[in-house]
Amino acid sequence: MNERTTQGLCGTCKRLVDVRVITRDGAVYFAKSCPEHGPEEHLVASSAEWFEDALSFEAPMEPPRGEVKPVTRGCPFDCGPCTEHKQKVFMPVIPITSACNLDCPICYTVNKNEGAHMLSRESFAAVLAHLTRHAGGDDLDIINFTGGEPTLHPELPELLRMARAAGYRRLTVSTNGLKLANEDYVEVLAAVDARIVLSLDTFDDEVDRRMLGATTLKTKLRALDLLQKHDVTTTILPAVAAGLNDKDVGPLLELVLSRPNICSLEMHTLTFTGQGGVGFSRSARITTPDLHRLVDEATGGRIAWRDFVPSPLAHSHCYSICYLLVLDGGGYVPYTRFMSRARLFELLGDSIYIEPREKVQEAMREAIDDLWADPDRAGLAPGQAEAILATLKRLLGELFPPGGAVSLDARRRVAERASKAIYIHSHMDEETFDVERIKRCNIGVPEADGSNIPTCAYNVLYREKDQRFADGEMLERMAATRPVGRRLPLVTG
Amino acid sequence: MGLLTGKRVLVTGGSRGLGRAICKAVATEGARAVAFTSLHGGGVESTQDIEAAGAEARAYQVSTTDAAATAQLVALLEKEWGGIDVLVNNAGVSQTLPLALIDEADFDHVMSVNVKGVFLTSKAVLRGMMRRKSGVILNIGSLLGLRAIDAPVHYAASKAAVHGLTLAMAKEVARHNIRVLCLAPGLLEDGMGKNVPEHRLKDFLEHCALGRAGTFEEVARFAAFLVSDRSAYTTGETILMDGGL
C-alpha cells in the first residue's frame, strides 16, 4: 500500500483538514477527518497506476503576476492569489453574468437570476487592463467568457470586441448553446471569431432531463449545425456522470471527429459542489481514469490511457490530454504514437491548448524523420506511418504553398484544424479538494480590482460568498441538499 | 588501428578513377566492408584493391539515378551488413562543351547524375543512419562549382548544387548525429582532368601555388580522413582541395 499525504477540506464545513491518500484495490481515495464532522473517504482516481504516472510528469511553474496577497489563513483561504500560489494564470475565466436559462441539477457553481449580475463594460475594461498588465508583454493568448449563461449578457459581442481590441487572440465562450439556435446570433459571434465551448452532455433526452433538468438536445444539435455552417471553432464540453451520460463518451468523440469545425472534446468529471452538484447523487462520481477507459473502449484501443499526458501548466491530476492527428482519407492517430509522451507534454507548456508555434513545428519535423526512418515502430498499425507522413506532407503544402500567400492566421487555422484534442479536466469539489492541486491552478477568475482566484477554489469557497452570484436562500437550499451520513467508513492505512 | 576500423562504406562510381582510389583508401584505413557501384559494371581492380587491404568487397551495377535500384541496394546492404556507416557520393559525369552546344538533354543528364543521384542515394542511406543516429556522407564537389573558371556550365551548376545540398542536408540531419561534407577537388591529373584543354591546364598550373595537378590518392586519403571520427566536428563544409589556387 502506497500512501501520500496532502490537505483538503471537510466535505461539510469546508475547514482545512489533513488528507491521507490511500491506494486500495488499484484505486486512490482521500481519507480525512474533521474534528466536528468526523471521518470521510472519497474516490479520487479509479487507477493508482494513472495517479502515479501523472505525477511522474514534472514541469517548472511560473509564479503569479500582479497583486499577490500575503498568507494569513493559509491555502486555500487567502486566494487572490496568495504568495503560496505557484502558477500564473494561463486562462482567465470571466463570469460575465449570473443569469442562466437552465437550472441544472448538476450545476457546480452558484448563479442567481433575480437581480442577476451583468458585468459592466467599465468593469470588464478594468479586468482587461489588469490582465494585460499582468501579462507583462507576454502573448495575450486566451480569455474564456462564462456565466451563468454568458449569451444572456446583452453586451457579450461588445465585450468580445473589447477583448479582441486589447490583443487577445483566442476568445472562448462557454455556453449551453440554447441561444445559438438563433442564426443571427451565431453570425454575430462568428464575426468576432469567438470560439464556442458548447455544453453537450448526452444524446439521450431522459439523461438530459436528469442532468440539466430540461431537454436541450434538439436545440443544441441545431446550434451545432449553425456553428458548422458559419465555421465557428467549437469545443464540445460534457460534464460526465457515472451511470448517466458515460455511455455518451463514444458518440461525443465521434461527433468531434466528424465535424471539421469542432476541434476538441473537453470532458469534465462531475463535481459535487455548487447549487446543483452539492446535492447530486454521489453514485455519479467518475474520475479521470474512468474516462480514459471509456475512450479506450469507444475507440477499440486506438486511443489508450497512455496516449494522454497531464498539462505542464497545472497540477498533474487536473488535466489529462490527448492530441490526435486527423489523417487524410479518414481515421486519426494519437500524437503519442509518433512522438514521445514527454514531447507532447513539452508542447503543452506554452498554453493550455497547443498552438502551432515553432516548438510544434520542430516536434512535427522530428516526428517526420522518426516515422520515415523507422516506419515499423511499435504502436503504429501497418501502413499508418505512411498515412501520417502523407497527411503531414499535404499539410505542409497547405501551410507553406509555393506562392507563399497564406496569412499567419490562416496558417494557424489550417494547423489547428489538422488535429483534434481530448481534454479531461478534473475539477475539484469539497470532497476531492487537494491543496497541492489548487496551488498549481492556472485558471483564474479575475476581478476588476486586479485579484484573481484559482477556479476550483472560486467554485468551492468564494463564489457562494459573492452576492452578485448567490443569496442566502440559495445557500440554505444548498446546505439542505448536501448529503450527510452517507460517507464510506474510514479505511486505515 | 586505421581511421575507419570496422566501418561499412558505400562508394558510388567506385569502379575507376577517384572512386576507385577512395575505395582503396577507406579499405586501407581499416574499413570492414566496402561496396561500390558503377554504371557499366566492372570494377575488378577496385575489388582487388579492397580485398588486398583486408576488407570485404562488393561491386554492384546500379545507376544512382534509379531510385528503386538504389533503394534496393541500400536495403540489401542494410540487411546483410546491419547498416552503412559511410556513404561517398562520388558518381558524376561531365561534358566538355561550351554553353552554345549544351542542349536541354545534356543539361538534364548532368544534373540528374550529379545532383539527383546524390540526393537519391543519400536519402536511401539516411533512413538507416537516422534510425541508428550515426553516419557520415561525403559528397564529391568541384572547384568549378566555387570559382569563376572556364568550365561547362551544366557541370559547374551541378557541383554548386551539390555544395548547397551539402549545407542543407548537414543542417537537417545533424540532429541525428549524422555529418554531411563535401570535398571539392581542383584539377586532378587523371579522370575528368584529362579533358581539360591544354591552355586551361597551363593557366591553372600558373595560378596554383603548388604548381601541379592533384592526384586521386591525395584526394582519397583526405576523403578517408573526412569520413573518419577524426573530423567529428566538421559538417556542412565544402572543403576545397586545389593545391592553392
- Note whether B130 contacts A366, CB cutoff 8 Å: no
Interface test with B, best of A372, A377, A389 (most B CBs within 10 A): A372
- Note whether A372 contacts B130, CB cutoff 8 Å: yes
- Note whether A373 contacts B131, CB cutoff 8 Å: yes
Contact A314, A351 (CB under 8 A): no
Identity at A482, one-letter amino acid code = R
Number of residues in chain B? 245
Angular region, B14: left φ>0, alpha ψ -120 to 50, beta rest: alpha
How far is residue A306's CA from residue A54's CA, in Å, rounded to a whole number?
Answer: 10
Contact B24, B47 (CB under 8 A): no
Going by C-alpha positions, the residue among B27, B23, B70 that lies closest to residue B42 is B23
- In this complex, how many residue pairs, one in chain A and one in chain B, have their CB atoms less than 8 Å apart? 14
Closest Cα in chain B, distance from residue A388 (Å): 17
How far is residue A246's CA from residue A202's CA, in Å, rounded to a whole number?
Answer: 9
Going by C-alpha positions, the residue among B231, B125, B140 that lies closest to residue B176 is B125
Closest Cα in chain A, distance from residue B62 (Å): 23
Closest Cα in chain B, distance from residue A374 (Å): 6
Give the number of other Cβ atoms within 10 Å of residue B133's Cβ: 11
What cell numbers appear for B207 in the block? Answer: 595560378
> Of the listed B36, B60, B107, B155, which one is catalytic?
B155
Interface list for chain B against chain A, based on CB atoms closer than 8 Å: 126-128, 130-131, 175-176
User: Which of chain A's residues have a Cβ under 8 Å away from the Cβ of B128?
Assistant: 373
Per-residue tens of pLDDT for chain A, all 493 residues: 457 999 999 999 999 999 999 999 999 999 999 999 999 999 999 999 999 999 999 999 999 988 899 999 999 999 999 999 999 999 999 999 999 999 999 999 999 999 999 999 999 999 999 999 999 888 888 999 999 999 999 999 999 999 999 999 999 999 999 999 999 999 999 999 999 999 999 999 999 999 999 999 999 999 999 999 999 999 999 999 999 999 999 999 999 999 999 999 999 999 999 999 999 999 999 999 999 999 999 999 999 999 999 999 999 999 999 999 999 989 999 999 999 999 999 999 988 888 777 888 889 989 999 999 999 887 898 999 999 999 999 998 888 887 666 787 888 888 888 999 999 999 999 999 999 999 999 999 999 999 999 999 999 999 999 999 998 888 888 888 887 644 444 443 3
- Note whether A369 contacts B176, CB cutoff 8 Å: yes
User: Which of chain A's residues have a Cβ under 8 Å away from the Cβ of B127?
Assistant: 372-373
Q: Report whether the peptide linkage leading into residue B244 is cis, meaning its omega lies within 30 degrees of zero.
A: no
* Bridge-based pairing state of the strands A419-425 and A262-269: parallel
A400 Cβ under 8 Å from any chain B Cβ: no
Going by C-alpha positions, the residue among A325, A342, A398 that lies closest to residue A53 is A342
How far is residue B163's CA from residue A86's CA, in Å, rounded to a whole number?
Answer: 52
Residue bearing cell 489548487: A438
Taking the model in full, what pTM does it have? 0.89
How far is residue B175's CA from residue B240's CA, in Å, rounded to a whole number?
Answer: 25
User: Which of chain A's residues have a Cβ under 8 Å away from the Cβ of B175?
Assistant: 366, 369
- φ, ψ dihedrals at A81, nearest 5°: -85, 180
- Note whether A372 contacts B176, CB cutoff 8 Å: no
- Note whether A373 contacts B175, CB cutoff 8 Å: no
How far is residue A445's CA from residue A261's CA, in Å, rounded to a whole number?
Answer: 28
Residue bearing cell 498568507: A71
A405 Cβ under 8 Å from any chain B Cβ: no
Told to judge if B233 belongs to the known catalytic residues of this protein, a careful annotator would answer: no
How far is residue A441's CA from residue A252's CA, in Å, rounded to a whole number?
Answer: 27
What cell numbers appear for A124 in the block? Answer: 470588464
How far is residue B8's CA from residue B22's CA, in Å, rounded to a whole number?
Answer: 13
